[in-house]
Structures are given as structure tokens and as C-alpha cells.
Amino acid sequence: MFRRTFIMLALFIPVSLTFSQSDAVKDEKNKTKIEKPEQIISTDIFGIEHLSFNKKIDPAGKGELLQVEFALKNNTDSPLELYIFMMGTVEDKEWVWNTFNNRKVSLKKIVIKDFASTPDDKSQFEKEEDGKKVINKYPKDFKTGINPDTGKPYVLESYLPVRTELLAKYRKKYQFFNYATIYIFDNEGELLFYQNYSLDKIRH
């Protein structure tokens, strides 16, 4: 039987990975809903191959593009319906320092200053908190993560190439994305795959 696996070790792929502890709550159907899936989540059901991130200038001159490419390989004998999201973020980390102010003690919070996503619906990652709009790195409705070419869920038969672009728009105090995140759900809303990748190697 295939199972979802929580991997707490760095994987050897051509980009660096970051992860920390998760924060899970129960939804109204008593299923586990991961609102802040900050650890690596993987699965035996499919594999991810040939993952790459590249940066290029937007031909329309609106900013810079993050190109994300990978392929999914089905490890089962049946086709899989999947919902896929990708997110590029500009994040700042705020730290708690020791009394001498020369060593970081713990992470206080992560501030997301800007982001783009595919599908291109920012409302999926926005919520109200204390009367302010904040960014939550988890989509509200997994069923919106459809294939833009078909308007339906992605169908993984044996092998499925996936390619997308995220636009970092030019603005005041512009910064390119420093993290990219991939989410893949099954047709029941279970998060089968999640990873948060550092983009430091291509950012500058």
C-alpha cells in the first residue's frame, strides 16, 4: 500500500531546501488540515523528477519571470487526478536575538512581502487577520489547482511534464522571489506533496 511520507531530511536536488516544524489543526469533517505545511511532505504514489528553477526577464517588461519545470512519474497502476499549485514569495525572517545581540536564538516570524501563484488567483492565499489582509501559504480551495490547458484536474497516467511561470512585478524596492513552493493534492484534498525551495542560487 502506498503511503504519504513526511521527510525530515534534506533531499539531494539542484536547489537548497528549507523546512521546519508543521502546524496542523482539525477541520469540521475531523480530517487533518495542514494550514502551515512547513515541513517536507512526500509520497510513494508518484515521484517528482527533473525539477528546475530559472529566472528570465519578462518579455512584456513588467518584471522578472520564475520558470518552474518538473515531471511527475506515476508509481501506481491507475491514473491519478491531481491539483497543483506553485507559489513564488519574497520573504523576510525576523529573529529573536540573545541578550548580547550577536546570536540568533529562534525564529520570531516570517513576513511575506510579495508573492505570485499559479493558478493566478491571489485570493487563494490571502486571509483577514486582526482586520488586515495577510498572506497564508496554503490555498483555500484545493480544487482550484487545475490544469490551465484543460480547465480540469491534472491527470497523471504514467508521466506528466509540468511547466509554469511566476511573474515578480517591478515595484518600489523591488526584490525577486527568494522562495518557491510546490503543493500537490489528490482528488480528496489530501496534501500529497509539499516542498519549500530556496532560490538564492538564481536570485541575483
Q: What percent of the chain has pLDDT over 90?
A: 60
Mean pLDDT of 122-137: 87
Query: pLDDT at position 110, please?
Result: 81
Query: pLDDT at position 186, please?
Result: 97
Given a cut of 60, is residue 144 above it in pLDDT?
yes
In the chain, the amino acid numbered 25 is V
Query: pLDDT at position 202, please?
Result: 87
* Gap between the terminal Cα atoms of the chain: 44
Mean pLDDT of 34-52: 83
Query: pLDDT at position 38, please?
Result: 59
**Burial 147-163, CB ≥16 within 10 A → b, else e:** beeeeebbebeeebebe
Mean residue pLDDT across the chain: 83
pLDDT band at 107 (very low <50, low <70, confident <90, very high): confident
Given a cut of 60, is residue 1 above it in pLDDT?
no
DSSP class of residue 200 equals H
Given a cut of 90, is residue 158 above it in pLDDT?
yes
Which residues partner with 128 through β-bridges?
133
Mean pLDDT of 111-119: 92
Query: pLDDT at position 36, please?
Result: 53
Given a cut of 70, is residue 122 above it in pLDDT?
yes
